[in-house]
Amino acid sequence: MLRRHFLLSGLALVAPRTSFSANARIDILPDEPIGVISPHIYGHFTEHIGGVIYDGVWVGESSKIPNVGGIRKALIDHLKQIKAPVIRWPGGCFADSYNWRDGVGPRSQRPRRTNFWANDPYLWKAPDGPQKYEPNEFGTNEFARFCKLAGAEPYFAANLRSLEAFDFSEWVEYCNSPAGTTSMAGLRAQGGSPDPFPVRFWGVGNESWGCGGNFTGDEYAVEFRRYTEWVPRYGLNLNFIASGPNVADYAWTRSFFEKLIEKGKGALRHVFGTALHYYCGGPASGSSTQFAPDAWYRLLHDAARMEELVNNHWQIMGEIDTQHHVKLVVDEWGAWHDTDPSIAPSYLFGYYPGLRDALVSGITLDIFNRHADKVAMANDAQLINNINALFVAVEDRFTVTPIFHVFDMYAPHQGGTSVRTVISAPALTQAAAHGLPALSGSCSVQGSHVVLTIVNPDIQNAQETEINVRNRRITSARATVLTSSDIHAHNTLDSPNALEPKEDNSIKAGSPLNYSFAPASVTRLDLMLA
Ligand code: AHR
């Protein structure tokens, strides 16, 4: 998308002033499609880490907490509400020390193992619970059931560092071989699932440049070729996802693709996507709920860096994969802050995300929408009780976070056609914002329904904006806004409704549409066109 940044005086050159004193302008160009927004861009990630699986997802069948076969009911209900399309599991770094066989068969007989994260100093303060010593109560059948209940597709991350290619193909056989055909199908049936799940998305390792084996890009390419050369298909179109770069490690992307095609470009046909990981903030970035205005702007500027990462990795991929057969899968993203000491230490990397993180999520999802031709899937890290979480749950208490509200507000983009949208807005002048534009967003169209989502990062100033849809008339308009006068606003277990989106009834349809985007806000406009 082209983005033009104007000083206030410069804007007058392109936007004639009306009685509404617009200092920004949005031009939606419905006849310039970018691509269909894959619903999988709105995906999630659940790892056996901290309170994600044990207590977050899995409470156990005998729990007093409302559950469906051991899975937290409130979570299932909310995932259905936001049309959760896909969930990644079991890691993360955990994936490359996980033997899937530990998590199948009778639950009472499953082994107890040391969790990948047990060495983290923060967990030393925690009791010897499932976060340190994995009980394997939640395994393949439980995860597949969770996905089915939530209406999402499963995306498995296979162990490349410490299991063999054979184990990978046998996991595929366990999940996908038809009822009654193989011993693995028999084992699956003993766990209550005679029919295949089935699983289409398979990650081949995780962060193979680090915890997933400490490979170089070309070493990993050889492993990837070996693991994916033969895998049983059962008529399914299996989508293999290669472990991709860490942030701006362009050398990884280049070396992986160069080595992958060393024996011919046919190897590209084995790759559905390459997985980019990018967390803004990062561990030790400070508290999610107590920070100075500078830290607000710094984080939002960092979040916007996702666009440069998508563009740059895509360009390198295209030098080798000239037809762009392979897509980007951003299977870990989010804002990462310090663990909240008011939450028990076993909930490693748990904290309450706030309004600032909601804006990070809006900025990021808008980038994915704008690059619908490049990004095939993305997975927010992580679903519950961890990092960029949509939910916090401790025993029988549960709250949605502002990130959940953003996913809810953005759900209508799923399956829409992303169209080019020119946002002309001044650049922020705060030093920590590093020229971040005063408005950013994305737009999708389904028939005569237009969904426009916009983030205004300015803490103080609303952005009065003139909105035009080229060659079309806007006949009705609705606005949903997530904002607060307090930039630290967030929900807690004691105060789960502190921050919620509201309908803005002041909006009046018109062509152009004049709308004032509130300070520190994420807004969705639903427009109907004649
Ligand atoms: O999401 C937490 C961790 O961050 C994941 O396990 C790992 O893949 C990443 O480094």
Cβ-contact 487, 295 below 8 angstroms: no
User: Which H or E run contains 362?
Assistant: helix 355-370
Tens digit of pLDDT for each residue in 45-88? 999 999 999 999 999 999 999 999 999 999 999 999 999 999 99
- Residue 209 tokens read as 């440049």
Closest ligand 1 atom, CA of 210?
10
Active site includes 153? no
DSSP tag of 264: -
Cβ-contact 317, 274 below 8 angstroms: yes
Nearest residue (by CA) to ligand 1, atom 6, is 92
Average pLDDT score over residue span 361-386: 98
* Ligand 1 centroid – CA 447 distance (Å): 39
Extended strands (E) in 167-308:
201-204, 239-246, 273-280
Report whether pLDDT(164) > 60. Answer: yes
Residue to mutate (ligand 1; options 53, 97, 131, 211; most atoms within 8 A of CB): 211
Cβ-contact 278, 343 below 8 angstroms: no
Tens digit of pLDDT for each residue in 10-40? 233 334 444 578 999 999 999 999 999 999 9
pLDDT at 504: 97
pLDDT at 8: 29
What whole-number distance in Å separates Cα of residue 321 and Cα of residue 527? 38
What pLDDT band is residue 384 in, cutting at 50, 70 and 90? very high
* Ligand 1 centroid – CA 333 distance (Å): 10
What whole-number distance in Å separates Cα of residue 291 and Cα of residue 296? 7
Position 165, amino acid = A
* Ligand 1 centroid – CA 92 distance (Å): 5
pLDDT at 431: 93
Among the ranges given (2-11, 150-159, 162-171, 514-523), the one the predictor scored with the smallest mean pLDDT:
2-11
Active site includes 332? yes
